[in-house]
Amino acid sequence: MQGAFREHRFALESLGCDVTEVRKPSDLEGVQGLVLPGGESTAMAKLLQSDGLGDRIKQLAAKDLPLFGTCAGMILLAKDIDGSDQYRLGLMDVTVRRNAFGRQIASFETDLSVPALGSHPVRAVFIRAPYVAKVAPNVGILAEHEGKIVFIRQGNMLASAFHPELTPDKRVHEYFLKMVSEYR
């Protein structure tokens, strides 16, 4: 819809996926996994509400369609957004905090340890990123940065505060594609 969707397209295509862009409910026909990109969550929220796209995504998520939210996408997946009543899909049992890393370090890169992806760290790009302030016990924590949760999985849903589509390392997308092939 908005934000860093092209970079996700390139990352997924390089792994052999057929990629289609979703902007209206009918675009979801036949989709086997959905990426909610980074961008501006309030702008995306408007688009999700305008023609029932958000409701359709929620219906498919209830049938276990794999979803992957990055940054603003993570915010949209969360049940709670700290101090905000902006629209969200509200599918993951977590509380997120927007623009949470403070002004001086609004954008930064770091090496993240992600044991689920192997011993080699993941280079993570954070851009005015949220972090996860609270998780329910059914949410798996895949990575933290300085004690803040930045990568999570709950069943068919995956969410990262950082942007794996902006680095050449494809392990995060591969992980999501494994979730997609399990769903298929």
What CA–CA distance (Å, rounded) separates 113 from 168? Answer: 17
Under rule CB under 6 A, residue 38 binds ligand GLN: yes
Under rule CB under 6 A, residue 109 binds ligand GLN: no
Q: SS3 of 75, please?
A: helix
Q: What minimum distance in Å lies between the beta carbon of 73 and ligand GLN?
A: 7
Interacting residue with ligand GLN among 7, 40, 93, 174 (CB under 6 A): 40
Q: What angle do CA 179, 126, 46 make, to 5 degrees?
A: 75
What CA–CA distance (Å, rounded) separates 83 from 96? Answer: 10
Q: Which of 8, 71, 145, 173 is catalytic?
A: 71
**Segment interacting with ligand GLN, rule: CB under 6 A, options 5-13, 35-43, 87-95, 112-120:** 35-43
Under rule CB under 6 A, residue 54 binds ligand GLN: no
Binding residues for L-glutamine: 39-41, 98, 127-128
Under rule CB under 6 A, residue 71 binds ligand GLN: yes
17 is catalytic: no
- Tokens read off for 91: 């599918």
Smaller CB distance to ligand GLN: residue 26 or 99? 99
71 is catalytic: yes
Please list, in sequence order, all residues whose beta carbon lies within 8 angstroms of the beta carbon of residue 112, skipping any fewer than 6 positions away: 121, 122, 123, 124, 143, 145, 150, 151, 162
- What is the amino acid identity at position 162? F
Q: Which of 8, 145, 165, 173 is catalytic?
A: 165
User: Is 64 within 8 Å of 183 (Cβ atoms)?
Assistant: yes
Contacts with ligand GLN by CB under 6 A lie at 38-41, 71-72, 75, 98-99, 127-128
List residues with catalytic annotation: 71, 163, 165
